[in-house]
Amino acid sequence: MTGKVYLIGAGPGDPELLTLKAYRLLKQADVVLYDRLVGKEIIELIPESAEKMYVGKAKSLHSLPQEEINSLLAAKAKEGHMVVRLKGGDPFIFGRGGEELEELIEEGVPFEVVPGVTAAAGCAAYAGIPLTHRDYAQSVRFLTGHLKDGTTDLPWEELVHPAQTLVIYMGLTGLKDISQSLIRFGMSPSMPVAIVEKGTTSEQRVFTSTIQDVYGVSIENEAKSPALLIIGEVVTLQKKLEWYGKY
């Protein structure tokens, strides 16, 4: 009898940001395949009876190639197991969730998707930065700074736009190139930027700067991944609205 795969978003780190459905399914799992960005406290929620498999990826360092993860999910489900594929954030926002489901469909394996709090929403909230605000930004755009071919070749002209917030996932490695490119395509060098490191966790750090100086600020503070970049006038509200660890 074929089992089932549950593709679950674990949120950005704080275990209390798990959805009720994610928590319930995690507690019932037979097999859990989890990523690098899933918080330690969330991994500790996995039942001892469940088979735990780490399949995380860091930049250019994969414990398992994506194709093997896809096949493994199908194989474990075909053994009759209730399989949880646990991903940091939301599985459909830079989480490769779609690629994994395509394989399950080809293999005839049933599945469900459980959305999670994506890093943009979670980290911005815990940093005190509203991604939209009537006075500053009427739109928000999510981008990844780590593309499939290893470059940071983004549609720069579209990104330099008034009243828009940019949120760049995995943007720390290419930060120098990102900041220089945005300025080159017309962004004001004084545009506010925030780096949110390990957002929503007890180790969260937030650094605010300008697009011109942000790379130097990241080096000076030894900012480390996972980190999120937030670019836009909304960042000016951070000092006023920060709350996490303060109250």
pTM assigned to the model: 0.93
Q: What stretches of 59-126 adopt beta strand conformation (E)?
A: 61-62, 82-87, 111-114
Q: What is the pLDDT of residue 47?
A: 96
Q: What Rg value do the Cα atoms of the chain yield, rounded?
A: 19
Edge-first strand listing for the sheet containing 111-114: 51-54, 31-34, 82-87, 4-9, 111-114
Amino acid, single-letter form, for residue 156: W
Mean pLDDT by 10 residues, the chain (247 residues): 93 97 98 94 96 81 80 95 97 94 95 98 98 97 77 86 95 93 97 98 97 98 96 98 92
| Among 42, 45, 55, CA closest to 117 | 42
Domains of the chain plus CATH, in order, are: 4-114 (3.40.1010.10), 119-241 (3.30.950.10)
Which residue in 4, 57, 78, 176 is the catalytic one?
57
**Residue 35 among the catalytic residues:** yes
Three-state SS for 107?
helix
**Residue 57 among the catalytic residues:** yes
Three-state SS for 240?
helix
Amino acid, single-letter form, for residue 106: E
Q: How many Cβ atoms sit within 10 Å of the Cβ of residue 155?
A: 9
Say if residues 129 and 120 touch (Cβ distance below 8 Å). Answer: no
Which residue in 14, 35, 87, 90 is the catalytic one?
35
Stretch (H or E) spanning 32: strand 31-34
Say if residues 123 and 200 touch (Cβ distance below 8 Å). Answer: yes
Q: What is the pLDDT of residue 201?
A: 96
Q: What is the pLDDT of residue 58?
A: 63
